[in-house]
Amino acid sequence: MAVIRTVIRGVGASLPKRIMTNQEMSSIVDTTDEWIAERTGIRQRHIASDNELTSDLGIAAARQALVRSGIDPVEIDLVICATATPDRTFPATAVKIQHGLGVTKGAAFDIQAVCSGFVYAMATADNFLKTGQFKRAIVIGAETFSRILDWTDRGTCVLFGDGAGAVVLEAQPQHGTREDRGILSTIIRSDGRYEDLLYVDGGPGSTKTTGHLRMNGREVFRHAVQKIHGVIEETLIQTGYTADEIDLFVPHQANKRILDGIARKLGVGPEKIVVTLEKHGNTSAASIPLALNEAFESHRIKEGNLVLMEAMGGGFTWGAVLVRW
């Protein structure tokens, strides 16, 4: 039976030039390279300059993805930006990116699911494309988390970085089998009971300020392993695949120990996991597309590969996307 699937046509990324190493971090807060590397896997992160906005990073990533896709910006009719660090409270950063790319038709909007934002945005775009409402989309994950960090809190400021990644998506007719190219499954979940474990203590509607990120790291860690593993199991059951059939595992990059824990539970070998933590830190909604880009540029991802993405973040929100590249 013929169906419409959402096929990934191109991927791109953008990182601020400035790199902050763990060594430099130890001159800001009471920490060491050893502690950060051992507990998280992070060695450095990129930090946006004052005049480098989330939209600038998003535009650069989307441009690269467009060039690689061979699709002209005038053919794009949907732009979704996943971000928790928008340029402004409104309008949506996606609309600014839409304009920056020269896209003038269709719709553009932001998605706010923090670190799960890219997974949420992929699920949203997939549903619009599959139903025929839009034909070609750009999904971007873009963040300048350095702006919402408390640079006196060593428990959080060492973890995050800035950056953006993007994919160009196209609705294409496929056969309706699990061998199809494109997105085969998306699952998104949330549970507001856990708000106080990971949040920003400000906002236009409460404090009228931006606020700073607050996290109970140990508790978030515990939930992350359980919830991510659960949603991956659901994805595998839904699509009839087994974990060893996955060619590439592209997880949200929060902590190397979380990735290792999930991989161990699934029985996925380290050669199948894309890890960018050591270079990027946790870039929230940007981490998965940045990792996809890294896998593409290092020729680890090939057409026909079965690629599993997953994320968990503030809210809590979590989810997974299974795609045949």
Can you tell me which residue has the tokens 């006196």?
152
Cβ-contact 42, 277 below 8 angstroms: yes
Closest CB to ligand UT7 among residues 16, 41: 41
Cβ-contact 280, 253 below 8 angstroms: yes
Q: Which residues are catalytic?
A: 115, 252, 282
Contacts to ligand UT7 from residues 273-312, by CB under 6 A: 282, 312
258 part of the interface to ligand UT7, by CB under 6 A? yes
112 part of the interface to ligand UT7, by CB under 6 A? no
Can you tell me which residue has the tokens 């909604």?
285
Q: Which window, 67-75, 143-151, 216-224, 269-277, contacts ligand UT7 (CB under 6 A)?
A: 216-224
22 part of the interface to ligand UT7, by CB under 6 A? no
User: Applying CB under 6 A, which of residues 11, 13, 95, 158 lies at the interface with ligand UT7?
Assistant: 158
Q: Is the dihedral of CA 166, 68, 123, 254 positive or negative?
A: negative
115 part of the interface to ligand UT7, by CB under 6 A? yes
User: Applying CB under 6 A, which of residues 14, 124, 144, 255 lies at the interface with ligand UT7?
Assistant: 255
User: Using CB under 6 A as the criterion, what x/- string covers residues 29-68 for binding ligand UT7?
Assistant: --x---xx--xx----------------------------
Closest separation in Å from C-beta 246 to ligand UT7: 21
Closest CB to ligand UT7 among residues 64, 85: 85
Alpha helices in the chain (DSSP H): 22-25, 33-40, 54-69, 93-101, 117-130, 154-157, 217-239, 256-266, 277-280, 287-297
Closest CB to ligand UT7 among residues 5, 252: 252
Please name which of 199, 198, 195, 193 lies closest in space to residue 220, comparing C-alpha atoms: 198
261 part of the interface to ligand UT7, by CB under 6 A? no
Q: Which residue type sits at 214?
A: R
Structure tokens at 214: 């607050």
Q: How many CA atoms lie within 13 A of 3 on its CB side?
A: 17
Residue 307: in which H helix or E strand, if any?
Answer: strand 306-313
Which residue ranges make up the site for ligand UT7 (CB under 6 A)? 31, 35-36, 39-40, 115, 154-155, 158, 217-218, 220-221, 224, 254-255, 258, 282, 312-313
